[in-house]
């Protein structure tokens, strides 16, 4: 009888949920709207365990995509966790950041892409027009160089003004893009 009583109780709970099902659906829809209302940036990163990181890989430190330049682990007290001491350099600015995290905890790893484009033009405001080096040949004019602040950008502009055919490498991560290098195209 105990099993039957338990079954009846489960059926009663189920029927209560079914009666309030309309309210439950409304709450679920509201929660979904909240989740999709803002962009959390989750598509720009993937989780990775701090213990799985190594020198040369990428990680988000203090909200910035960084390349790890120094990584070490240290054990703590009797019941503590091993800690990862991570030093990284921002892939866009070169600024150094440090973080300490338990090796068993997850950190964010930025999805970093590098794409090559053919340089078509540099306008008066230092916006560049580039063409994708693929079958699509898509044109873009939304990238800007800073020849006064960045040595690579200064040399790029000089060589373009000399009439050289150049391709540029664009690094992108976490909704940020920067020209990080260039080379002369061989025809």
Give Dmax over CA atoms of the chain in angstroms. 93
At 35-62, the pLDDT tens digits run: 333 344 447 899 999 999 999 999 999 9
Higher pLDDT, 3 or 174: 174
Phi then psi for 39, rounded to 5 degrees? -100, 115
Lowest mean pLDDT among 11-25, 55-69, 82-96: 11-25
Residue located via tokens 């503590």? 80
**pLDDT one-digit tens code per residue, 112-144:** 999 999 999 999 999 999 998 877 778 989 999
CA distance 24 to 27: 5
pLDDT for position 30: 36
pLDDT averaged over every residue in the chain? 80
């Amino acid at each position: 009888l105990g099993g039957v009583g338990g079954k009846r109780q489960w059926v009663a709970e189920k029927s209560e949920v079914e009666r309030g099902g309309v309210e439950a659906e409304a709450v679920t829809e509201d929660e979904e709207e909240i989740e999709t209302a803002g962009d959390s940036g989750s598509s720009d990163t993937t989780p990775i365990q701090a213990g799985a990181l190594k020198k040369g890989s990428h990680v988000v430190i203090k909200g910035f995509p960084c390349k790890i330049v120094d990584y070490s682990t240290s054990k703590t007290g009797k019941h503590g966790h091993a800690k990862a001491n991570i030093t990284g350099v921002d892939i866009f600015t070169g600024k150094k950041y440090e973080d300490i995290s338990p090796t068993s905890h997850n950190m964010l790893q930025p999805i970093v892409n590098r794409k090559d484009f053919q340089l078509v033009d540099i306008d008066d405001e230092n916006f560049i027009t580039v063409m994708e080096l693929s079958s699509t040949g898509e044109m873009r004019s939304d990238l800007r160089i800073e020849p006064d602040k960045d040595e690579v950008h200064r040399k790029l502009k000089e060589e373009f003004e000399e009439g050289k055919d150049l391709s540029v490498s664009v690094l992108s991560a976490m909704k940020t893009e920067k020209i990080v290098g260039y080379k002369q195209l061989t025809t």
